Chain A
Amino acid sequence: MAEAEAQLIQSAQRGDLEAFNTLVLRYQDIVYAVTYRIMGDPASADDGTQEAFINAYRRIETYRGGNFKAWLLRVATNTCYDILRYHKRRPATALDDLPGGDTDDGPPIPDESISPEEAAQQTELNTAIQDCINSLSDDQRIVLVMSDIEGYPYQDIADTVGTRLGTVKSRLSRARAGVRKCLEAVQELLPAEYRLTSSND
């Protein structure tokens, strides 16, 4: 697997677009998930994902070995940063663009066996969580997504975003505290089983 990936990477570095597209199919879900959580809406995530792969192909010569997924996610993360700065706005989330919305390009619902009512509750909860994530700063949001959604260890996050381990630790702690405060403010809107327990309870 790793050897096959290394050969694909070397072929892509020599300009083999087909080999690179093989890598795209292998990592596009992860890249899209990261870009979606960072950008906050499916349309921006779609643009960000496509642009991230284009940037990765143009710069694949700079890959010097190591964790290719981490390198690719770093490219995707920086691409999202650039897009956010380019538009000079925080991405606004429309209801139709939320996960599970009516748009065709929205991410698919993971479990299609749940009832429509449960799906509605799940969608409401996901919307609230995503809104709270979107309220974070870019730095905090990136770290939170990579840690709590993608499950990366701190060191990989630090390598990806190019910062120190202690900074990742601090940013993640603040991001979690921010999401918690945000969800406490809207927990009346959430189903009972998802309401947060106050630390004073």
Chain B
Amino acid sequence: MNDYDYNQLSAYIDGELTDNERQSLELRLQEEPELRGELQALRQTVNLIQQLPAMKAPRNYMLTAEMLADVPERTTVATPRNIIPLPFMSALSSAAAAIFIIAGVILLMSGDDGNDLATTTSSDVMGSAEIASQFTETAQVAFTNLGELSTEERLTAAAGGDVDAIETTLNADVDGFIIEETATALADVSRAMPTTSPNALEDGAAVTGGLTADSADDDSEAGGGAGGEDTINGDFMPDEGVDSAPEAEALYMEEEVAEESMANDPADESDSVNPPQTILAATAVRTTRAPSAPLPTNLPPNLNQNTTAQDMMSESSTNSEPAPLNMPVPTDALTQSAVLGFNSADDSDDVVASVEEQDAGEDGVSRESAQEQPEAQTGIVDTENQAVIEAVGETDDTQNTLGLVLIVVGLIAGIIGIGSWWLPRRQQA
């Protein structure tokens, strides 16, 4: 005996079998005593149940108006009146879920970009290099806010014998948008201050941007090949420096010779020379121009046009302590963030490194003169830089939190929508 047999016997008692089923079961009943015994016991049980007395209502259940008003509607009998609002709620909840989740994802994605930059700034920068990183951070966020998404990181170092600062303003036409890109990171290296450790120079030259760059080797990469390109692929951490001023000076003399050779044969990038002994500024530039975009052509004579930012950063590591530098106080936050806390020590009158606008129509780059600035203002700017960075970080955190909240709300709305769709069907069942 199995469930099928019990079902057949029960339906046989009620006359609910088809003719074929009934005939088949009757044949089995003739042949199987056990099946007959089960049928007899089942019939007896049904008879006992059916002999229960018929019941009469103990009272009348007629309704009154007061009764209808007083009794709360507790039951949830599945009727169309109950079902009608639920599909509407399901559709509404589903639409709300989609909107919230999409908005949350967008916020998270935009927040992640800024957050990565903020993380980079806080984790990669040490000592004086923190200022340069903060600049890069701010510049990237600013460009991101401008909607410019595909720029690449550049480092432009301006160097010159007596020049302490260069501020470069780039006007690049990117996808129809004129984006003014101003980036200045300054690292003034003076041969006259030989006591500065190479690590300090590395810190001063370090520029972060979420990218990684090969260390610029003074002798091998600085002068040519791929290492000579001005495309910055990452952090600049010159791995070696010159321990003393005499060594740096000797190296500079060698490089000057090489630079002269390069000037005679500009096409040979492998022979490009390193920057001069005094690196005044390291300027991080974001631009959409080609990776190999050259530096301004009117750079000081000891800075070859083909000299790359990486080269210059490498060179900076070979020199000693950065000299103070005065820079003008930019008027906008982006430019302000680009001003580093280096002050001009003794050559403030010679500091101005002016880069005239040149070849703007050709390469989309405009150059502005960098004005010297009072020493006292740089500290203020540094503080402002930090404030900008912190503000950007807080904004990113708020965006991420808001994005997560929206996604959670969207998921809840989705659950409500599914429940609104499923509950009426369950009630009907």
Chain A contacts to B: CB under 8 angstroms = 17, 20-21, 24-25, 28-29, 31-33, 36, 42, 46, 49-51, 53-55, 57-59, 61-62, 75, 78-79, 82-83, 86, 99, 104-111, 122, 125-126, 129-130, 133, 144, 147-149, 153-154, 162-163, 169-170, 172-174, 176-177, 179-180, 183, 194, 196-201
Contact = CB atoms under 8 A, between A and B. Distances in A.
A21 B428 contact: no
A61 B80 CA distance: 9
B41 A172 contact: no
Given A196-B45, A201-B37, A54 B53 contact: no
A179 B49 CA distance: 9
A183 B7 contact: no
Contacts of A122: 53
Nearest to B41: A199
Nearest to A21: B62
B49 A153 contact: no
Interface string B42-67: 10111011101111111111111101
Query: Which of A54, A55, A106, A197 counts the most chain B CB atoms within 10 A?
Result: A54
Ranked nearest first, the 3 interchain pairs of A and B with the lowest CB-CB distance are A199-B37, A110-B53, A173-B10
A49 B61 contact: yes
Contacts of B44: 180, 196-197
A59 to B, nearest CB: 5
Contacts of B78: 78, 162
A24 B62 contact: yes
Given A62-B81, A173-B3, 19 more contacts: A17-B63, A17-B64, A24-B60, A31-B57, A32-B57, A58-B73, A59-B81, A62-B79, A75-B77, A79-B75, A79-B77, A83-B75, A104-B58, A106-B58, A108-B55, A126-B53, A154-B16, A174-B3, A199-B41
A169 B7 contact: yes
Contacts of B7: 169-170, 173
Given A54-B71, A154-B16, A180 B42 contact: yes
A180 B16 contact: no
10 contacts: A36-B55, A99-B55, A104-B58, A110-B53, A144-B49, A154-B11, A169-B10, A173-B6, A199-B41, A201-B37
B40 A50 contact: no
A107 B58 contact: yes
B422 to A, nearest CB: 16
A96 B223 CA distance: 107
B75 A51 contact: yes
A33 B55 contact: yes
B81 to A, nearest CB: 6
Given A54-B68, A173-B10, A133 B49 contact: yes
A122 B53 CA distance: 9
Given A59-B81, A196-B41, A199-B41, A176 B74 contact: no
B429 interface: yes
A46 B11 CA distance: 32
A85 to B, nearest CB: 9
Interface of B: 3, 6-7, 9-11, 14, 16, 34, 37-38, 40-42, 44-46, 48-50, 52-65, 67-68, 71, 73-81, 428-429
Contacts of A148: 46, 49-50
B17 to A, nearest CB: 10
A194 B190 CA distance: 116
Contacts of A163: 429
Nearest to B71: A54
A32 to B, nearest CB: 4
Contacts of A104: 58
Contacts of B48: 125, 129, 179, 183, 194, 196
Contact of B14 (A107, A154, A177): A154
A180 B75 contact: no
Nearest to B11: A169
A63 to B, nearest CB: 9
Contact of B428 (A46, A154, A162): A162
B55 A197 contact: no
B41 A198 contact: yes
Contacts of B58: 32, 42, 46, 104-108
B286 to A, nearest CB: 65
Query: Which of B48, B67, B71, B75 counts the most chain A CB atoms within 10 A?
Result: B75
B56 A51 contact: no
A54 B77 contact: no
Given A154-B14, A154-B16, A105 B59 contact: yes
Contacts of B62: 21, 24-25
A55 B10 CA distance: 34
A58 B68 CA distance: 9
A198 B38 CA distance: 8
Contact of A197 (B40, B56, B428): B40
Contacts of A78: 75, 77-78
Nearest to B62: A21
Contacts of B3: 170, 173-174
Given A25-B60, A50-B61, A57-B63, A176 B55 contact: no
Contacts of B80: 62
